[in-house]
Structure 1
Amino acid sequence: MASDSDRLRALKAFDNTKAGVKGLVDTGITTIPSIFHHPLPLHRLHADQEHHFTIPVIDLAAAMGATTTTTAPSERAELVATVKAAVETVGFFQVVNHGVPKAVMSEMLAALQGFHEETVEAKAPYYSRDSRRRVRYQSNFNLFRSPAATWHDTLFMETAPEPTPPEEIPPACRTIVPEYTRLVQQLGRTLLELLSEALGLHRGHLEEDAACLEGLAGHYYPSCPEPHLTLGTTAHSDPCFLTVVLQNAVGGLQVLVDGLQEDDKKKSDAVWVDVPVVAGALVVNVGDFLQLVSNGKFKSVEHRVVAKSVGPRVSVACFFRPQGAATSTRVLQPIVTNGEARYRSTTMAELVRRYRAKGLYGSSLLQHLSL
């Protein structure tokens, strides 16, 4: 077993290449470096094939661009009930007829893949672990804090409180990113309206705090020669209100869901459930902020990405949470309509600070806030 000093040297050597996991694959490796080996009990690679869960697919046609004069109240109520059921149980759902054209989705994925597959020399100027940079390319944001590295690289671009100047965005993504984020921002507002109604609140309640699209993470998961030894991304929940994910056809995203016995009454062990690729759909999941604000009604569940021998997997995650001065003072507190608060209040800044210090490993950010 390598010593801590040997492992640190290996991590620094990997990071200093600025080539990421893609660079390792390009060398033609047939075995993966030990820094990527995950302890097997932690990892439980394969999804449970015996479960009876499906990730809901929700048609948003009745909400996108609709008005009270074009949408029957019964249609709206049915849509709110469907979204409510999804976020109260699985915490994940997919949406179709969401207002983002398939051509835009395809162009966004192609642009990110194009960036990640450029030469090391072309990507190196963007490689950074400085969180103050609005555009940064890196492999594993918590590389030096996690027990094991994961099999992916990321291009992160901030979109708030002001849009990133076009000249700072890599040329491959410069045209499509503003258009894609504009459309996802619109989708986010629609989703937050539906979620507000699902909490029994007026339609605009959550938008004030949650409608800011803070940033976009473009992940690239190359094919892995030993996928049984590592993970694409470790199990985690998201430090935001909502995450909207675009993924290509490779798949690999999984959700940890509480199990149920055949009579649907007695809980069993949690199981990993695959999030299938649905053509034209976007994946939506509840974040920790929304679980806290909903007083635990909406579920921010753990999810991960498994490494695969095929690839690359390309995905785009958009995170909804305030950015800038608003995060330093804005207090998150549970909305209690009956019963008692399940969480103590906290600031958004405190939750983000804890997340950055913790990384992806360990328990949910909300555990230390439970009452």
Structure 2
Amino acid sequence: MDKLVSSRLNHESLPGDYIFPPETRPGGLKIPCSNISVIDLREAENGDRINTIQKMIKASEEFGFFQVINHGISENVMNEARSVFKELFEMPAEEKQKLCSDDPSKTCKMLTSSVNYATEKVHMWRDIFRHPCHPLEQWQHLWPENPTRYRECAGTFSVEVKKLASKILSLISEGLGLECGYFENDLTGSVLLSINYYPPCPEPSLALGVTKHSDPHIITILLQDHVSGLQVLKDGNWIAVEPIPNAFAINVGNQLQVISNGKLKSCEHRVVTNSHEARTSAGLFFAPTNECVVEPAKALTDEHHPPNFKPFKYKDFIPHFLSKHGDTDTVLKSFAAQKG
């Protein structure tokens, strides 16, 4: 329990096991904003669907990231979710202790840094609370009773974000030339909510909230708060994904890169800390079920465009992903199709 950074009273100095090697430190430079696309989903509903799809596909090819506005989720639902997620990490230490567990089979739990805390050389400056949230009736009763609003607010939020994921994946599948409803099956049968809390860090130039990684899922839908921290790696440079009021950040996962036969990119990203303000974010990971077979879509491959990846079960992908610490190129090379 004393490992949780949100429960420590003294943040005056950075412990040695949180100091990253010089080559991976964020440093003290201010990284400029990028031209990561901000896509207005209302345009697709108002007759400009093709243009919206083109923007989404282009952003997914170039950055693997984009943000969406006018997405249909009410400001009240978003604010209630932000509020209760923040409240979760501000609970007394004894309440948070009830949520902590070293049991790898426990699906709903709070931890610090990462699932590899016991073996990692350097820890990340964050606490995490995560649990499955689809289907809602299967999991909601396992969620914490405190904060008292948690089950209601997180439930409403996850249902609404799942609708948004369906909308976005429908646009992407149309842009790729796939049949309607391509992702409305076991490819998105698993939904995990991961809430990240990054307390003020005494020496942010030496620490990281999350190290460089890609996401192993289909897509991630991220709710940021007003505090900046998310950065995307583009052409060797780290660029900021600045929070936009009432927007969601969307990023392509490894499985979508495979299904698109490499057309869409699962971009590497990280989170930096700051010394003056806590940051809370909530990501919903949309993933295949364990037994689901993932492979390049048949509609995107032929004799002139052979599949770049071999078929695999999602449950076989995840252990490999974790062992390679989310290194996109290394992970995906392991599942590359044999040529010739």
Give TM-score scaled by structure 2 length: 0.91
Please tell me whether the aligned partners of residues 34 and 240 of structure 2 are also in contact (alpha carbons under 8 angstroms).
Answer: no
Give the direction of change, closer, same or farther, for the CA distance of 1:364–1:117 in structure 2 (3 Å limit). Answer: farther
Aligned-pair CA distance for 1:254 = 0.1
Structure 2 residue corresponding to 1:154, chosen from 125, 128, 131: 128
Residue in structure 2 matched with residue 59 of structure 1 by the alignment:
40
Query: 1:285 and 2:251 equivalent?
Result: yes
Aligned-pair CA distance for 1:169 = 2.5
Please tell me whether the aligned partners of residues 230 and 270 of structure 2 are also in contact (alpha carbons under 8 angstroms).
Answer: yes
Aligned-pair CA distance for 1:161 = 4.9
Aligned-pair CA distance for 1:364 = 4.6
In 2, the alpha carbon distance for the partners of 1:45 and 1:207 equals 42
Q: Deviations for 1:301-345, whole angstroms, at most 9, x for unmatched residues?
A: 10000011122100000000134xxx12x2111123342222222
Q: Deviations for 1:40-98, whole angstroms, at most 9, x for unmatched residues?
A: 11234466747x841110001144xx5xxxx53xx111111111111011100000011
In 1, the alpha carbon distance for the partners of 2:259 and 2:225 equals 32
In 1, the alpha carbon distance for the partners of 2:56 and 2:85 equals 30
Structure 1 residue corresponding to 2:17, chosen from 32, 35, 40: 35
Please tell me whether the aligned partners of residues 243 and 318 of structure 1 are also in contact (alpha carbons under 8 angstroms).
Answer: yes
In 2, the alpha carbon distance for the partners of 1:47 and 1:316 equals 26
Structure 1 segments unaligned to the other structure (5+ residues): 1-15, 259-269
In 1, the alpha carbon distance for the partners of 2:31 and 2:199 equals 25
Please tell me whether the aligned partners of residues 188 and 211 of structure 1 are also in contact (alpha carbons under 8 angstroms).
Answer: no
Query: 1:333 and 2:329 equivalent?
Result: no
- Greater Cα offset, 175-184 or 204-213: 204-213
Give the direction of change, closer, same or farther, for the CA distance of 1:320–1:274 in structure 2 (3 Å limit). Answer: same
Structure 1 residue corresponding to 2:241, chosen from 275, 282, 287: 275
Give TM-score scaled by structure 1 length: 0.83
Residue in structure 1 matched with residue 234 of structure 2 by the alignment:
257
Please tell me whether the aligned partners of residues 229 and 271 of structure 2 are also in contact (alpha carbons under 8 angstroms).
Answer: yes
Q: How many residues align?
A: 329
Please tell me whether the aligned partners of residues 47 and 271 of structure 1 are also in contact (alpha carbons under 8 angstroms).
Answer: no
In 2, the alpha carbon distance for the partners of 1:49 and 1:126 equals 36
State the identity as a percent: 31
Residue in structure 2 matched with residue 142 of structure 1 by the alignment:
116
Residue in structure 2 matched with residue 262 of structure 1 by the alignment:
none
In 2, the alpha carbon distance for the partners of 1:33 and 1:332 equals 42
Query: 1:21 and 2:5 equivalent?
Result: yes
Structure-to-structure mapping, 1:120-199, within 5 angstroms: 120-140=93-113, 141-161=115-135, 163-166=138-141, 168-172=143-147, 173-199=150-176
Residue in structure 2 matched with residue 229 of structure 1 by the alignment:
206
Residue in structure 2 matched with residue 107 of structure 1 by the alignment:
80
In 2, the alpha carbon distance for the partners of 1:128 and 1:297 equals 39
Structure 1 letter corresponding to 2:244: V
Query: 1:211 and 2:188 equivalent?
Result: yes
In 2, the alpha carbon distance for the partners of 1:292 and 1:322 equals 12
Structure 1 letter corresponding to 2:143: E
In 2, the alpha carbon distance for the partners of 1:308 and 1:246 equals 18
Structure 1 letter corresponding to 2:214: S
Please tell me whether the aligned partners of residues 26 and 208 of structure 2 are also in contact (alpha carbons under 8 angstroms).
Answer: no
Aligned-pair CA distance for 1:362 = 8.0
Residue in structure 2 matched with residue 263 of structure 1 by the alignment:
none
Please tell me whether the aligned partners of residues 58 and 95 of structure 1 are also in contact (alpha carbons under 8 angstroms).
Answer: yes
Residue in structure 2 matched with residue 370 of structure 1 by the alignment:
336
Residue in structure 2 matched with residue 239 of structure 1 by the alignment:
216
Please tell me whether the aligned partners of residues 142 and 359 of structure 1 are also in contact (alpha carbons under 8 angstroms).
Answer: no
Q: Deviations for 1:240-295, whole angstroms, at most 9, x for unmatched residues?
A: 0000000111111000012xxxxxxxxxxx11010011111000000000001111
